[in-house]
Amino acid sequence: MIVIMKDIYEQILKLKYFCHCHERRISAYCQINLAELKGLKAMEGEEPITCSDFSKKINLSPSRSSRIIDNLVRKGLLLRKIGEDDRRSTLLYFTDKGWNLKESIKLEEEKFEQLLTSELGSEDIEIIRKGLKLLEKIMENNF
């Protein structure tokens, strides 16, 4: 059993490496760093998000996420606005440039997913999806 788990662990590390390489390629193409890429991906849809929620979604401290937000605003990808209902709250919105970049990132991720699944049948994909969900649940419960 230990040999099998070591093999699974090694496979997870390889997959992590390939995904990381893919994200580095996307960030280089978009001319943003990996933290900024993670931040853009955390924003869903066209609805604004608070700076606090942004920090939680990317799992970074408010001060670190504030620097990321500053960079994204400086690059013209996000806008900061004071909340109308709560002036203590700052909301983040995509600019047109930011929204277009977010859509480009989404397309690149879809291409990568197609590459990963191109030689798999729907049953294989479902087995992998269930196995990954199970591993994720185990890890969440133990870390």
Q: What is the pLDDT along the chain (143 residues), one digit of tens a residue?
A: 555 667 888 888 998 999 999 999 999 999 999 999 999 998 887 788 989 999 999 999 989 999 999 999 999 999 998 867 776 778 999 999 999 999 999 999 999 889 888 988 989 999 999 999 998 999 888 88
pLDDT at 82: 84
Query: What is the CATH code of the structural domain delimited by 2-117?
Result: 1.10.10.10
Alpha-carbon distance of 18 to 33, in angstroms, equals: 17
pLDDT at position 56, please?
Answer: 92
Strand segments (E) across the chain: 49-50, 78-82, 90-94
**Spans of all domains in the chain:** 2-117
Residue 102 C-beta-side C-alpha neighbours within 13 Å: 20
The structure tokens listed for 142 are 């133990």
The structure tokens 């620097």 sit at 67
pTM summary value: 0.80
